[in-house]
Amino acid sequence: MVRRDGALSMPRDQIEAMQLEGIKKTVVSCYENVPFYKKSFDDAGFDPYALSSLDDLRHAPFVTKQDLRDNYPYGMLAVPLERVKEIHMSSGTTGVATLGAYTEYDLAFWGDCFERGIEFAGGGPKDIVQICYGYGLFTGGFGAHYGSLASGATTIPISAGNTERQIRVLREMGSTILCCTPSYAMHIADTAIAMGLDPARDFHLRAGIHGAEAFSDNFRRELERKLNYKVLDVYGLTETMGPGVAVECMEQSGLHIAEDHFYCEIIDPATGEVLPDGEWGELVVTTLDREASPVVRYRTRDITRIIPGECPCGRTHRRIDRLHGRTDDMLIIRGVNVFPSQIEQVMENFDEVSSWYQIELTTREHLDVVTLKAEVNPDFDFDSTGAIEALQRQIQAELKAALSVGVRVRLVEPMSLPRSEGKAKRVVDLRGENA
Ligand code: DLL
CATH number, position 421: 3.30.300.30
Q: Return the bridge partners of 427, or none.
A: 359
- DSSP annotation of 69: H
The residue among 259, 292, 327 that closes a domain is: 327
* Measured CA angle at 356 (ends 167, 174), to 5 deg: 20
Q: Return the bridge partners of 333, or none.
A: 336
pLDDT of 335 > 80? The answer is no
Locate the ligand 1 atom nearest the alpha carbon of residue 144 and give its number: 6
Predicted local confidence at residue 261, as pLDDT: 98
> In testing the pocket of ligand 1, which one of 114, 115, 213 has its CB within 8 Å of the most ligand atoms?
213
Predicted local confidence at residue 92, as pLDDT: 59
* Residue 435 placed within a domain: no
pLDDT of 291 > 90? The answer is yes
Residue 276's CB: how many other CB atoms inside 10 A?
Answer: 10
Torsion of CA 175, 179, 181, 187, to 10 degrees: 0
Alpha carbon 153 to chain centroid, angstroms: 23
Locate the ligand 1 atom nearest the alpha carbon of residue 90 and give its number: 11
* Residue 23 placed within a domain: yes
The DSSP annotation for 103-133 comes to -HHHHHHHHHHHHHHHHHTT--TT-EEEE-S
Q: Which residues contact 55 (CB under 8 A, 6 or more apart)?
A: none
Residues 134, 9 share a domain: yes
- Model pLDDT for residues 126-142, shown as the tens digit of each residue: 999 999 999 999 999 99
Lowest mean per-residue pLDDT among 45-49, 409-413, 427-431: 427-431
Residue 376 phi, psi dihedral angles, 5° rounding? -80, 160
- DSSP annotation of 44: H
- Model pLDDT for residues 378-407, shown as the tens digit of each residue: 989 988 889 999 999 999 999 999 988 889
Residues 379, 274 share a domain: no
Q: Is 304 in the pocket of ligand 1 (CB under 6 A)?
A: no
Q: Is 168 exposed, middle or buried (0-12, 13-18, 19+ CB in 10 A)?
A: exposed
360 residue type, one letter: E
Predicted local confidence at residue 153, as pLDDT: 98
pLDDT of 433 > 90? The answer is no
* Residue 434 placed within a domain: no
> In testing the pocket of ligand 1, which one of 146, 237, 300, 305 has its CB within 8 Å of the most ligand atoms?
237
Q: Is 140 in the pocket of ligand 1 (CB under 6 A)?
A: yes
pLDDT of 117 > 60? The answer is yes
**If you count them, how many residues does the chain have?**
435
pLDDT class of 93 with cuts at 50, 70, 90: low
Torsion of CA 34, 40, 43, 47, to 10 degrees: -70
**Domain range for residue 341?**
330-429
pLDDT, average across residues 147-170: 97
pLDDT of 333 > 90? The answer is no
Residues 275, 413 share a domain: no
Name the strand (E) or helix (H) holding 15.
helix 12-33
pLDDT of 363 > 90? The answer is no
Report the domain count for the chain: 2
Percent of the chain with pLDDT over 90: 81
> Rounded to whole angstroms, how far apart are CA atoms 37 and 359?
39
Q: Is 243 in the pocket of ligand 1 (CB under 6 A)?
A: yes
> Rounded to whole angstroms, how far apart are CA atoms 341 and 19?
33
pLDDT of 331 > 90? The answer is no
pLDDT of 164 > 80? The answer is yes
Q: Return the bridge partners of 211, or none.
A: 234
pLDDT of 94 > 70? The answer is no
- Model pLDDT for residues 194-213, shown as the tens digit of each residue: 999 999 999 999 999 999 99
Residues 47, 108 share a domain: yes
Residues 345, 291 share a domain: no
| Minimum CA distance residue for ligand 1 atom 1 | 212
C-alpha distances out from residue 184 to 1, 18, 93, 334, Å: 32, 38, 20, 33
Instruction: Yes or no: say if 260 and 20 are a contact pair by the CB < 8 Å rule.
Output: no
Q: Which residues contact 389 (CB under 8 A, 6 or more apart)?
A: none
The residue among 279, 294, 327 that closes a domain is: 327
* Residue 228 placed within a domain: yes
Residues 275, 170 share a domain: yes
What CATH number corresponds to the domain at position 132? 3.40.50.12780
pLDDT of 435 > 50? The answer is no
pLDDT class of 339 with cuts at 50, 70, 90: confident
380 CA → ligand 1 middle, Å:
33
234 CA → ligand 1 middle, Å:
8
Q: Which residues contact 271 (CB under 8 A, 6 or more apart)?
A: none
Q: Is 323 in the pocket of ligand 1 (CB under 6 A)?
A: yes
pLDDT class of 243 with cuts at 50, 70, 90: very high
Q: Is 240 in the pocket of ligand 1 (CB under 6 A)?
A: no
* Residue 318 placed within a domain: yes
Residues 346, 274 share a domain: no
* Mean pLDDT, the chain, integer: 94
| Minimum CA distance residue for ligand 1 atom 27 | 237
Q: Which residues contact 89 (CB under 8 A, 6 or more apart)?
A: 97, 98, 99, 100, 137, 238
Residues 240, 360 share a domain: no
Lowest mean per-residue pLDDT among 12-21, 166-175, 342-351: 342-351
Give the predicted TM-score (pTM) of the model. Answer: 0.91
**Residue 93: how many CA atoms within 13 Å on its side-chain side?**
4
266 three-state secondary structure? strand
Longest dimension (CA), the chain: 70
The residue among 327, 343, 364 that closes a domain is: 327
42 residue type, one letter: D
Residues 45, 173 share a domain: yes
Q: Is 232 in the pocket of ligand 1 (CB under 6 A)?
A: no
> Rounded to whole angstroms, how far apart are CA atoms 142 and 155?
11
> Rounded to whole angstroms, how far apart are CA atoms 310 and 314?
7
Residue 79's CB: how many other CB atoms inside 10 A?
Answer: 17
Residues 185, 68 share a domain: yes
> In testing the pocket of ligand 1, which one of 238, 302, 329 has its CB within 8 Å of the most ligand atoms?
302
* Residue 37 placed within a domain: yes
Residues 171, 94 share a domain: yes
Lowest mean per-residue pLDDT among 171-175, 230-234, 331-335: 331-335
Locate the ligand 1 atom nearest the alpha carbon of residue 329 and give its number: 18
Residue 378's CB: how many other CB atoms inside 10 A?
Answer: 13
pLDDT, average across residues 403-429: 90
* Residue 16 placed within a domain: yes
- Model pLDDT for residues 250-278, shown as the tens digit of each residue: 999 999 999 999 999 999 999 999 999 99
Residues 371, 269 share a domain: no
283 CA → ligand 1 middle, Å:
13
* Residue 17 placed within a domain: yes
Q: Is 139 in the pocket of ligand 1 (CB under 6 A)?
A: yes
